Structure 1
Amino acid sequence: MSKPLHSSVKPSLIVRSLQPENQETPIQFINGDTIDPNLFYRRNHFSYPLLTSSNYWLPINGSVEIPRLFSMQEILNIPSKMIKLVLECSGDKRGLFEPKVFGEQWQKGAISQGYWKGVPLRALLELTGIKKGAKEVVVEGFDYGKRTDSDQVYSFSRSLPLDKALHPDTIIAYEYNNQPIPLKHGFPLRLIVPQWYAMASVKWIKQIRVIESEFQGPFQVIDYVYYPNRENNIDTLPVTTINVNSTIQKPLDREVLTTGFHFINGIAWTGNGVIIKVEVSTDGGKSWSDAKITNQKKGNYEWISWTFEWPALEKGEYTIMTKATDSFNRTQPASPFWNRKGYGYNSVDKIKIKIE
């Protein structure tokens, strides 16, 4: 069997950059299905803003019938809902692309999961009213700074089409795992958008604006866009829904094991639908077997855990691979959809193991 982690040793975040702070979850050492805030991955474009909830107000303006300024107390008094869901950075696994791409070289830990509590965005928009002709809802964060491609100062802002903004599970969250959202994850208010990559879940909300056109901010039309061609911008697509994906958590890549029976464990997730099957290959993809899904009853927005018992009875080197299939019959591809900025990597996961 694989060696257990010594009880006195605790995992920590894996640093990718310090300014701005970008750190990934040690996903290979996560056993539960909720992530402690201290181990939740951190993705930033700029420095952290300094905010307090005592003097916090949320403006909603633009193409609305009655512009409003909501106090925190007003927001807390609106009926809330709690949603358990995956938040995955669209650059998760970027470091695995071949040919290599520029950007934070995330491995497999730019993904975390937990319980978010807040009020539906639609409840706030119903209180302001939406004018006829409204097309998108722009959410602006308090984080700001200069981009590498411009001397201009920008805040991090993203838009949602009206139907996604009005989805009953798109919420303005104020708690994570039954505690106020930590500063580094969006305190005091964070947008939570199920099914989409986490760039849509804007942190440290400064204001919400309803517009009658397509938002043209740089984090909408320059970043978080699939550029499938190296030399031009033909056939670009916006980054939205999370791709079907899986990750092997144990054993570790390049781990040396003894002959015997070993459990291969991991997680799998998707944007739309649910995971219905996870397959494992221990011979580099020549043959595949079904893994056991250990928590199929989970909700629509969560990852599932899976396990596979492997009789490793012969010494040698092995390539272990996994692929997940969701309820829309989407399966992880053998090769990822290469794109210039390195978004949405979801090729079959693989590790190499040596049996001695």
Structure 2
Amino acid sequence: MNRKQNIPFLTTRSLHPENQESPIHFLNEWLTSIKYFYRRNHFSYPLLSQRHFWIHIDGMVHKPRFFHYDEILSMPSKSIIVPLECAGNQRANFKPKVYGEQWEEGAISQGKWTGVPLRDILEKVGFSQNAQEIVFVGADSGKKPGVHENIPYTRSLPLEKAMHPDTLIAFQYNDKPINYKHGYPFRLIVPNWYAMASVKWLNTIKVIDYSYKGPFQTDDYVYYPYKDNDKDKFPVTTLNVNSIIQQPLHLSILNTGVHEINGMAWSGRGRIKELQVSFDKGKSWKNATVHQLSNQDYAWSRWSYIWKVEEKGEYTIYARAKDSSGQIQPHTPFWNRKGYGYNAVARITVKVE
């Protein structure tokens, strides 16, 4: 009898709305299979109809109009490999603890996104020279604490980011139509930013000449450095340089001998240039081998280190990444009361017997 191959599963954080964590420690491919892509929702999944196959563009544009799914698919497209990370990834690691979904390390996934550059579509409608931001509205909606009426999930981008050639209106993931639970038929893809910017089920785009103040822009996805006041708050945008140790798992029991320590690293500010590991709690560091996809500016890096251990006992292993902009993972994360952007040095403890 053939034994079925062991298959990892998503980890449930909530069911209503559905929030599921990727089994990131058991995934070694560059492209995350859609069945293992993490799920992050603020509301229930939307009920789609034929009207969701149209994207409406209006506001401060010269020619407001609708774009149909078939028309967008007929336009010149491009593909990029992009990791999408929830801004609350690793929230469970903050001390003191913060409220919110207690994501561990699996609220990140990476795949090949194919779509039309947003700027190509905006150029077809033209926009006012006074335009400042582009607003994106998804088909998902519901109640949000502190807001009386039902609201859709809505975010904006500054004009410069919206017009970047790699900001896409995507319609494919890993060469197949985007899965319903991840934004079918259209999803905005914003490389180098946390995934709250990559609006799912995109159906309305509006050009505005002011700063958008919706609740998912000025309440959520804001760094609040203090527990009891809003002083010095600022918006969540670019991915922090970060890494995780995938194997061995935290609190594993290992034999003496040779082991491979491996993981992944990423940044929204440049390519990963260095990954170091420490076995003395950061007093000294050793260089690991960094593996990268060629010609892919946004893709995460993989890393590995061969560890020969002959003495029994408990070991704490640290890992830290450095990117091409000079950013390096800190020992202590930037604490903020909503728990965004955790990127402290990765660390695990193992026992060797």
Q: TM-score range by the shorter chain?
A: over 0.9
Distance in 2 between the 1:337 and 1:83 partners? Answer: 30
Instruction: Specify the SS of the correspondent of 2:282.
Output: coil
Secondary structure at 1:38's aligned position in 2? helix
The residue type equivalent to 2:147 in the other structure is S
Contact 1:52 1:188 in 2 (8 A): no
Instruction: Give the aligned partner of residue 178 of structure 2.
Output: 181
Task: Find the counterpart in structure 2 of residue 313 from structure 1.
Answer: 310
Secondary structure of 1:202's counterpart equals coil
Q: Does 1:64 align with 2:64?
A: no
Question: Take 1:37 and 1:76, find their aligned partners in 2: how far apart are those partners?
Answer: 21
Aligned to 2:132: 135
Residue type at the aligned position of 2:83: V
Instruction: Tell me by how many angstroms 1:74 deviates.
Output: 1.0
In structure 2, list runs of 5 or more residues that go unmatched. none
Shift of the alpha carbon at 1:54?
8.1
Where in structure 2 are the equivalents of 1:147-226 lying within 5 Å?
147-226=144-223
1:94 to 91, 99, 102: 91
What letter matches 1:252 in structure 2? L
Contact residue 298 and residue 304 of structure 1 kept, 8 A = no
Distance 1:37 1:333 in 2: 32
Residue 40 of structure 1 is matched in structure 2 by 37
Report the Cα distance in structure 1 between the residues aligned to 2:256 and 2:87, rounded to whole angstroms: 38
Measured in 1, the distance between the counterparts of 2:291 and 2:174 equals: 22
Contact kept in structure 2, 1:53 and 1:72, CA below 8 Å: no
Residue 242 of structure 1 is matched in structure 2 by: 239
Cα separation, 1, equivalents of 2:42 and 2:124: 32
Root-mean-square deviation (CA, aligned residues, Å) is 1.2
Question: What secondary structure, in the 3-state scheme, does the structure 2 residue paired with 1:143 have?
Answer: strand
Shift of 1:56: 1.6
**CA distances 1:194-228 after superposition (whole Å, capped 9, x unpaired):** 00000000000120000010001000000000000
Alpha carbons 1:259, 1:312 under 8 Å: kept: yes
299, 303, 318: which is aligned to 1:302?
Answer: 299
* Cα gap change, 1:55 to 1:220, in 2 (>3 Å): closer
- TM-score with structure 2 setting the length: 0.97
**Which residue pairs with 2:341 in the alignment?**
344
Contact 1:191 1:203 in 2 (8 A): yes
Query: 1:284–1:318: 8 Å Cα contact kept in structure 2?
Result: no
Q: TM-score, normalised by structure 1?
A: 0.97
Name the SS for the 1:339 alignment partner.
coil
Amino acid in the other structure paired with 2:200: K
Partner letter of residue 241 of structure 1?
A: T
Give yes or no for the alignment of 1:31 onto 2:28.
yes
Q: What is the CA-CA distance between 1:152 and the residue it aligns to?
A: 2.1
Structure 1: gaps (5+ residues): 1-5
| Aligned equivalents of 1:298, 1:281: Cα separation in 2 | 30
Letter of the 1:98 counterpart: K
Q: Which residue of 2 aligns with 1:257?
A: 254
Question: Counterpart of 2:224?
Answer: 227
Question: 1: CA distance between counterparts of 2:247 and 2:52?
Answer: 46
CA distance in 2, matches of 1:42, 1:298: 28
For 1:64, what is the secondary structure of its paired residue? coil
Q: Cα–Cα, structure 1 residues 337 and 7, in superposed 2: closer, same or farther, change >3 Å?
A: farther
* Paired position in structure 2 for 1:3: none
User: Sequence identity, in percent?
Assistant: 54
Report the AA paired with residue 95 of structure 2: E
1:225-275 per-residue CA deviation (whole Å, 9 max, x = no partner) reads 000011100000100000000000000000000000100000000002100
Provide the secondary structure at the position in 1 that maps to 2:154: strand
Cα distance in structure 1, aligned partners of 2:193 and 2:215: 18
Alignment length (residue pairs): 351
CA contact (8 A) 1:53 1:188 kept: no
Q: SS in structure 2 opposite 1:229?
A: coil
Distance in 2 (alpha carbons) for counterparts of 1:192 and 1:77: 19
